[in-house]
Each structure stands twice: as C-alpha cells, then as structure tokens.
Amino acid sequence: MKQAVTYLALLIFFFACGQSKQKNEAAVDVDLGSITKIEEQPNGVQVALNFIKGYIGSGLSADEWVASCGMVTESFKAEYKRMVDQAWKEDPELGLGFDPIFDAQDYPDEGFELSSYDEKEGYVHLKWINFYEFELILKVVEEDGKWLVDGSGRINIPEEMLEQ
C-alpha cells in the first residue's frame, strides 16, 4: 500500500512539474493575435513584431536585452540608458517603476493585434488583445538597408502621440 501511495505521489509530482513547464513556455511564446505570419507583414511591421516577440521571450533583463539587441538603433539604446539611469538617480529604490519599452508595468498574455501602420512616418500601432484601451506605439526606421526599431513605449515616441 505504501508503495502505491509513493508511486501515486511521484506521478502527481512529475505531472505537476510538466504542467508548470508548459505554462511557462506558453507565457514566453506570446501570441501576436490576428497577426499569424510575421513574415507577410511590411518590413517595418515585421521588425516591430520581431522586436516585441524577442523582448518578451528573451529571458534577459531589459537592460541586458536592449544592450545586446541588434534590432534597435543606437539612438534607441542611448535614450533607454539615459531614461533608466536618470530614474535610478531620482529614485534609487524604485527606478522607473514601469517598463519603458511597453510604457506599462506588464504586457498582455493574450498578445497583440496590429492596429495601424503609418509607412511614411514609420509608426506601428499595436493593440493589446482583450485590453483595447491600451496601445503600444513603435517607431521603425530604415538605416543602411536594414529596418530597425527607433522607438517603443516611452522611448523616442513623441509625448503627444502617447497622450492620444
């Protein structure tokens, strides 16, 4: 009888660990909503979506990810660092208190939907699925034939665009 209980306990333990792993993997593999094939989007939208998906799934801190990211401009990296450094100087315990890439404290588990893309100005607007009051704005630019993210959330996005 003890052997059966032990076996059952081990079975439940391994099953529970497997479920936890699957749940974590699903949280990292963010569904981008109605955008099923990133490759079929215009170049500016494609790089914006790859940027967000890479950021969420990287497993790195925001500082590490931005510093090592090849999808952003040097201007993006410099503004991110300036913003974070200034926040730590002003409040050594809290820093910014939010993620400047999302201009929020969190991101949607359900993913994003493309709201609009202004090809002329390079602004990509993503809506959070199931939370339509929030929109993430990214700015993309082409430098030397390569599309890069130059703004996201609070980084290099004009204040008047964030207040809309």
55-74 pLDDT, tens digit per residue, is 888 888 889 999 999 999 99
pLDDT at 44: 85
**66 half-sphere exposure, CB direction, 13 A CA radius:** 23
The Cα 161–Cα 103 span in angstroms is: 12
CB 60 within 8 A of CB 68: yes
Q: Where are the alpha helices (DSSP H) in the chain?
A: 2-28, 43-57, 62-68, 74-90, 159-162
DSSP 100-124: TTTTBS---TT-EEEEEEETTTTEE
Instruction: Retrieve residue 140's tokens.
Output: 């993309």
pLDDT of 45 strictly over 80:
yes
CB 137 within 8 A of CB 161: yes
pTM attached to this predicted model: 0.72
pLDDT of 157 strictly over 90:
yes
3-39 pLDDT, tens digit per residue, is 443 333 333 333 333 333 232 222 233 444 444 444 5
Which SS3 state, helix, strand or coil, does residue 18 take? Answer: helix
Q: What's the whole-number average pLDDT of the chain?
A: 76
